[in-house]
Structure 1
Amino acid sequence: MAMHAAMTTTLLPLALLLVSVVIMSGASASSPSSPSSLRFHYIDPRNFTMAAATLFSSSSSSSRPDGRPSLALLHRDAVSGRTYPSTRHAMLGLAARDGARVEYLQRRLSPTTMTTEVGSEVVSGISEGSGEYFVRVGVGSPPTEQYLVVDSGSDVIWIQCRPCAECYQQADPLFDPAASASFTAVPCDSGVCRTLPGGSSGCADSGACRYQVSYGDGSYTQGVLAMETLTFGDSTPVQGVAIGCGHRNRGLFVGAAGLLGLGWGPMSLVGQLGGAAGGAFSYCLASRGADAGAGSLVFGRDDAMPVGAVWVPLLRNAQQPSFYYVGLTGLGVGGERLPLQDGLFDLTEDGGGGVVMDTGTAVTRLPPDAYAALRDAFASTIGGDLPRAPGVSLLDTCYDLSGYASVRVPTVALYFGRDGAALTLPARNLLVEMGGGVYCLAFAASASGLSILGNIQQQGIQITVDSANGYVGFGPSTC
């Protein structure tokens, strides 16, 4: 803990007022299957050193030299292989999924409508499906590999199982518990069953513990809870992990067999690993696009804590303890801190407000006053140098860069804690391509007091979550 405390005031070097954005010639700005054609070059390259991306195959997972299990973390486009008529079509689909996810979080984390995952209301879904990032995990003995959606805001781990009364289509064969020597149903009167968020939904006729998990986009899973063995690549199998074996499941999870919950609760994988993982994991989110490389998900604490990272305290919402909140205290644009009302990002005693980190949300949401100040400062710094473009979906600050070889945009900084530790975001985490040379600021106003740090702002930054000691680290390296 002392090491963490010493690092809370460590700052990433602040980037200069403006960064240079270069559009590579010969790249198709509207190619739906390629990542953004923007390439970012900083005036002072010492501020952000862009490490070469490490590419993994879709089934890649391994054990690191230090013995910690590591998984390739894949964006949904890389898993589904889906192509879109245009970049705009792809981004409109993302916006639709994003809206459903945010509505779910706002409803679940609102003090007036607090609900748990288990037994919560199933609402109308959307056709685009669920989940933004996936991993490949071996389930059972012998292990059968399955794609699982990664969700930092969920606790229950579950997969679709045979026999299946209602199942959606997945990429791999359905898991057959009868073929696994390590599958053991959990009795409904056991302590594990009572640990389910919100309590168990009851007992099956066999006496096994039943569970039900519902998500805000209309997806849900129902089945029995079981103890099973999970294998991460060539790492040592982890025995006795409580997972849901879903016999009734609805949702388009882009071919995934289920979900890997990484929340702060006791039923998540991190919570169940306990001392084996030290209550810690780190991840790096891959960029969007079907041909983008993979990110990584590593369980356990690195003995050599990264020096130079921005370490900030994690905050826990007593009303919804599964989510990871961070103590955001301010915003900056172009090296200048914005004059915002004190307490604008505070987590209240009744569980309202606050800033939650979420891998399932793409665009960062801010309270309306904070977003307006950020948007206006960003646009004011650019001035009339760049032509504006009409807003696209929820993104209202857009520019037509189709005729430019390079442009300059202001930096955006996030300030945390009392000491004001600052994380300055790379330009690639600020602007997203909407097609036709149009780029939009990837922030939006929240419909409530809740703020969400989305995955566009997290992409390419090594993030370490140490729930045992109550800290999260950003950087210092990119990935």
Structure 2
Amino acid sequence: MEGILLLCVALVIITGFGISGTATTITTYPDFQELHVKQTIASASAATKLYKEEDDDGGSESGGARWKVKVVHRDKIFPQAPYNKSSGSNSHHHHLFHARINRDVKRVDSLMRRLGNSKLVVNSATDFGTEVVSGMAQGSGEYFVRIGVGSPPRSQYVVIDSGSDIVWVQCQPCSQCYQQSDPIFDPAHSASYSGVSCTSTVCGRLQNPGCHAGRCRYEASYGDGSYTQGTLALETVTFGRALIRNVAIGCGHMNRGMFVGAAGLLGLGSGPMSFVGQLGGQTGGAFSYCLVSRGDVGDSTTGSLEFGRAAMPVGAAWVPLIRNQRAPSFYYVGLAGLGVGGMRVPISEDVFRQTELGDGGVVMDTGTAVTRFPTLAYQAFRDAFLQQTANLPRVSGVSIFDTCYDLNGFVSVRVPTVSFYFSGGPILTLPARNFLIPVDDKGTFCLAFAPSAAGLSIIGNIQQEGIQISFDGANGFVGFGPNVC
């Protein structure tokens, strides 16, 4: 991965700016870094090829303290459209980009509605309680893991979502199911499947449980009206060779939505029904992940998701997690400011603070792709970036991006760094490919941030890519590793 990841306290004064149109080496400046244009475009195009699945390495059974599974980007497993030679590769990349952004807009809209306590109506044929509003909009989950469900285990791709508090997969008999890549899970063929009774304490942990024929019923609805409904059950989940027994999962018999081939969802929120919450004392609420970059291809281009206390390397920075009673499932962090080219942008810290009523604040979210800032903060940040990229050829905006460049013909360019200033001192400086991304294969790159009319800020997965991120829920911290992973 190009770029560097720095965690520091001191600021460095800006020294210069330049562009390279040849393959010659560019002098490295502290506040600038190199973005390999041609390599990034080629990687983004190659990333649409199907991912070759390999066996995951597992740990011990549930008596152990750690489990690990590979993480892959959605577009590597389920390309959105076949390559069309007559229209050229650009149409394929263009389609992927706009499909991703459309899902992302729905995701963000869903988060905003959830935090605004808006009511979303679920279009369903059965009525067993009020709707549960999830943070995930239709198909917006960006990353997948391969897990086994049942005994014997049936392999399933599921979306990982740090904003959701339920684990579910589509199940037979299926009165309404969307298309997925794997065969739909059939609990009748699993020796470890056990339905949960309506009177059990597990059923009582659901936000809005229902009851049918003595069995606990769950429902999760989404920002665009898609949903999953079914029976809550206890089942064995397999991560590689590691078995975790008696996991409460939703067995969805009635599901609607376009989840891009996934069988369901692995909720990683901080609530009691999420996978993290259910592991509880076995892992101390600790898990870590590394999201592989969209353009990375090859044999070693899978990320990782690990549960349990993994030792962070020397030089990692820990940032306190902030609780929000209105949204206890979300992971809030204290963001104090933004930097461009080693210079802090003049933005008041109050823009990023959570109010006493739980409004605003900054959420880290694996399901949102593009980072959002309140409009005034975004504009100040964008203007600072524009000022320091005045020599780059500009083009009109694309989709939700208003700051784009024509880098066609350049081998590489030197761009100013982009940094997050966290409360308490740590500074996270992003790799160049985590904030300037290709939106086609013709050389159009855009600044991968967007404004939000609401006060909520969201740190999306594009900005998290390639960085080792560890959550210590028991002690209330999130850690950022000092190197790319």
With normalisation by structure 2, the TM-score equals 0.85
- Offset at residue 12 of structure 1 (A): 7.7
1:312, 1:471 within 8 Å by CA — same for their partners in 2?
A: yes
1:224 maps to amino acid: T
Give the letter aligned to residue 188 of structure 1. Answer: C
8 Å CA contact 1:119, 1:213 repeated in 2:
no
Match of 1:34 among 32, 41, 46: 46
Moved more, 129-138 or 309-318: 129-138
- Specify which of 115, 120, 125 is matched with residue 131 of structure 2: 120
2:351 corresponds to which of 319, 344, 347: 344
Please point out which of 211, 224, 236 is paired with 1:217.
Answer: 224
Q: Tell me the secondary structure at the aligned position of residue 344 of structure 1.
A: helix
How much does 1:190 deviate? 1.4
Q: Aligned equivalents of 1:317 and 1:247: distance in 2?
A: 33
Offset at residue 132 of structure 1 (A): 1.1
Tell me what 1:80 maps to.
78
TM-score, length-scaled by structure 1: 0.86
1:294 aligns with 2:302: yes
In structure 2, the partner of 1:477 is 483
Structure 2 residue 239 is the aligned partner of structure 1 residue 244: no
| Structure 2 SS opposite 1:142 | coil
8 A contact 1:260–1:269 mirrored in 2: yes
Q: Secondary structure at the match of 2:309?
A: coil
* Inter-partner Cα distance in structure 1 for 2:457 and 2:321: 15
In structure 2, do the counterparts of structure 1 residues 339 and 31 end up closer, same or farther at CA, with 3 Å as the change threshold?
A: closer
Q: 3-state SS of the aligned residue for 1:78? A: helix
**Cα drift, residue 275 of structure 1:** 1.7
1:428 aligned residue (427, 433, 437): 433
Structure 1 distance, partners of 2:45, 2:257, is 24
Once residues 157 and 250 of structure 2 are traced to their aligned partners in structure 1, the CA distance between those partners, rounded to angstroms, is 15
Which whole-Å CA distance do the structure 2 matches of 1:156 and 1:59 have between them?
A: 27
For 1:69, the aligned partner's letter is W
Q: State the 1:122 CA deviation.
A: 8.3
Contact 2:132 2:219 in 1 (8 A): no
Q: Which SS does the other structure have where 1:163 is aligned?
A: coil
Tell me the CA shift for residue 31 of structure 1. 8.0
**Structure 1 segment 380-399 matched on structure 2, within 5 A:** 380-383=387-390, 385-399=391-405
**Aligned-partner SS, 2:278:** helix
Matched, 1:400 2:423: no
Q: How many residues align?
A: 441
Partner of 1:415: 421
Q: 2:171 aligns with which of 161, 166, 178?
A: 161
Q: How far is the alpha carbon of 1:165 from its aligned partner?
A: 0.5
Structure 1 segment 239-388 matched on structure 2, within 5 A: 239-289=245-295, 291=297, 293-302=301-310, 304-383=311-390, 385-388=391-394
Unpaired segments of 5 or more residues in structure 2? 1-5, 12-28, 84-90, 123-128
Query: What is the aligned partner in structure 1 of residue 36 from structure 2?
Result: 22
Equivalent position of 1:172 in the other structure: 182
8 Å Cα contact 1:59-1:136 kept in structure 2: no
Q: Secondary structure at the residue paired with 1:403?
A: coil
- Matched with 1:71 is 69
- 1:450-469 to 2 correspondence within 5 Å? 450-469=456-475
| Contact 2:7–2:482 under 8 Å retained in 1 | no
C-alpha distance in structure 1 between counterparts of 2:239 and 2:99, whole Å: 31
Q: Check the 8 A contact 1:62/1:233 in 2, yes or no.
A: yes
SS in 2 for 1:382: coil
Residue matched to 1:11 = 8
Q: Using the alignment, how far apart are the partners of 2:236 and 2:121 within structure 1?
A: 26
Report deviation, 1:346: 0.9
Q: For 1:100-129, what per-residue CA distance to the aligned partner results, in whole angstroms no more than 9, with x for missing partners?
A: 00100111112x538899843889x99x83
What's the offset of the Cα at 1:290? 8.9
In the alignment, the residues of structure 2 paired with residue 28 and residue 270 of structure 1 have an alpha-carbon distance, to the nearest angstrom, of 34
In 1, Cα distance between the equivalents of 2:280 and 2:9?
30
User: Are the equivalent residues in 2 in contact too, given 1:461–1:474 (CA < 8 A)?
Assistant: yes
Q: CA deviation at 1:215?
A: 1.3
Partner of 1:33: helix, strand, or coil?
helix
Identity %: 57
For structure 1, which runs of at least 5 residues remain unmatched after alignment?
Answer: 1-8, 37-55
Secondary structure in 1 matching 2:8: coil
1:63-89 CA distance string (max 9 Å, x none): 269962111111111121444533222
Secondary structure class of the residue paired with 2:352: coil
CA shift at 1:316, angstroms? Answer: 1.4
Instruction: Note closer, same or farther for the CA distance 1:451–1:115 as it changes in structure 2 (3 Å cut).
Output: farther
Structure 1 Cα separation of the partners of residues 79 and 97 of structure 2: 15
Q: Which amino acid aligns with 1:420?
A: G
Deviations 1:252-299 (A, max 9, x none): 212211110000000011110112122111101112259462111011
What is the CA distance between 1:20 and its match in structure 2? 2.0
One-letter amino acid of the counterpart of residue 234, structure 1 = R
Partner in structure 2 of residue 53 of structure 1: none
1:150 aligned partner, one-letter code = I
Partner residue, 2:125: none
Matched, 1:94 2:97: no
CA distance in 2, matches of 1:476, 1:392: 33
Deviations 1:105-158 (A, max 9, x none): 111112x538899843889x99x8342111111111111111111111001101
Q: Relative to 1, partners in 2 of residues 1:234 and 1:32: Cα closer, same or farther, differing over 3 Å?
A: same
Measured after TM superposition, the shift of residue 22 of structure 1 is: 2.9
1:455 deviates by 0.5
Name the aligned partner's letter for residue 189 of structure 2: A
Distance in 1, Cα, partners of 2:413 & 2:155? 45
